Structure 1
Amino acid sequence: MGLEEGVQAGESLAIISVQHIPGAEGEQILKIAIKSQSHEVISVSEVKVQVYFYDQIAGEVVASKSPVTSQWLNAAVDWKNGEPQLLQVTYQPSNNNPDARYLGYIVAVYYKGELQSYRADPPAITTYFPIKVYIGRNEF
C-alpha cells in the first residue's frame, strides 16, 4: 500500500495548507502551515521540514539546483495552543541554467525521524522522487 498525500495516520504534525505564490522573474514562494494533531508537547528540535523544488530541462524532471531560502513567520515556533506554525520558503530561479523551468515541489514534515505529512504539486512528482517514510534524526 502506497503513501497517501496529506497526514499519515496517527501522526503528531500535519501540513494543513500550502499557499503557492508565483513571484517576479520566476520566483516561487510557498507559505506552509503546519499544525499539531495531538495534545503532546512537540519537541521543536525533533521537527524537520524538507522542501524540494523540481525543474524540467529538455523534458526531463530534475531536482532543482536553484537557490532556496526559508524562514518561520511565527515569532516563536512551538506548536502550542493549537495554532499552526507558518514557514515561508522561496525558490529563486538559477541563472546558471536558463533552460531550467520550474515544475513543482514536495514538502515533507518529519517528527523524530518519521513522516508526519506531505504535499506535492503536481502530485506526479512523487513518481519520480518517492517520499521517504523515515529519515535519520540527523538527516536534513
Structure 2
Amino acid sequence: MSLVYFDSSALLSLCVSGPRTPLAQRLWIRADAAVTSHVALVQVPAALGQAHRRNLLTAAGLERALASWHDVRQAVYVIRASKELALRAGELVLNHDLRADDAWHLAGAQLALRDGGLAAVWDERLRAAALATGVRVCGQ
C-alpha cells in the first residue's frame, strides 16, 4: 500500500479500541507513509479529554490512549497550515457540507493524495465530500 491519509477519527481508532480499530491498524501497518492535517494535533487530544470527562475513558484508559497518541504523533507526517491550504479549505466549505476542521482535513488529503493513495476517513460528512471531490476513501 502507498500513502494513507488519516482523519482525526481514524487516528483515534489507533488510540482507543473501537469497531474500526482493526481496519485503522491494518491501514497503518500497510501504509508506506501515514499523513494527517495539523488540526489532528488538537482534535485527537480534545476527543480523548472529552471522553475522559464524560467517563467514557477511565484515568488509566486516558493514560494508555495518550501514550498511543504520542507514538502515532511521532510516526505520522503532519501537513502544516499554509495560505494555499487555507484558501482551498475555504473553497471546500463553500461547496460541501463540511465543518471548518474537516475542510482542513480534506484540503490536506487532496494535497497529500494528488499522486495516489487512500484516505481513512470515519467522519461521514468528510467522507461524502472526499468522494465527491475524487479522493479515494476507505472508512467502512
TM-score, with structure 1 as normaliser? 0.27
Higher share in strand: 1
Larger-Rg structure? 1
